[in-house]
Amino acid sequence: MKNEVQKNKEYEYKCIQCGNCCRAGFEVVIEKEDIERWIKYEQNEFVQFIQIDPKCISPTGLGGFHIEEVNTLQKIKETYKENEVNEKLEDLKQFILKNHNYFGKGSPLPIYTFIPDLGRTPILVPKTFQIILEGLKWGLIYTIKFELGGYCPFLKENLCSIHQIKPNVCRSFPYTKNGELKIDDYLIKICKGISKDSS
């Protein structure tokens, strides 16, 4: 986002590079366009910082519920005939296990996936960018794998070390897909670039 003032009815935003958004634990979903950009710039080492969002392969999600539109299992159940679903789920399971490295349990959040042997909130890191592109076709959701404390691994000396090629979600922050400034109490608290509109 350009370093210029953007407004809504009550607030205005101008990035002051405080780095707080990169330390706040906001989920950064990786899009196909991000992967294609990183392939173009030969940033293959970025793959180690990406993981499958365990919520997308959880029958129950977090706290006993899941959001259908971002749940891969739900999409498979809606897409295929009843007698095909189990076969597709097995295919997805094999794709995940063969093409992702398992790094144990992640955060203490009780997210259990449809692959029971992995335990809660598994860290599943794709082996290559091509695997991510294939996973996206399956409907998998990939996110940045944060460091301890919810810090983005690309935050260096309080600045984004990949600013020119950062993910689309980061480029648009703190705006919605409709271009509206997102305003909630937590965002106002952590983002030093948001202030009351003085005009």
Residue 57's pLDDT is: 96
Cα distance between residue 128 and residue 104, in whole Å: 19
Q: Which residues contact residue 174 at a Cβ distance below 8 angstroms, ignoring those fewer than 6 apart?
A: 13, 21, 181, 182, 187, 191, 194
Residue 1's pLDDT is: 43
Residue 2's pLDDT is: 45
Residue 195's pLDDT is: 86
Q: Where are the domains of the chain?
A: 1-26+173-199, 28-156
pTM score, whole prediction:
0.91
Encoding tokens for residue 22? 């990169």
Distances 58 to 48, 81, 99, 100, 175 between C-alpha atoms, Å: 22, 20, 18, 17, 28
Residue 135's pLDDT is: 98
- Profile the chain (199 residues) by mean pLDDT over runs of 10 residues: 57 90 92 98 97 94 73 94 97 98 90 93 97 98 90 93 96 88 87 81
Specify burial of residue 79 (Cβ count, 10 A radius: 0-12, 13-18, 19+).
exposed
Encoding tokens for residue 33? 């366009």
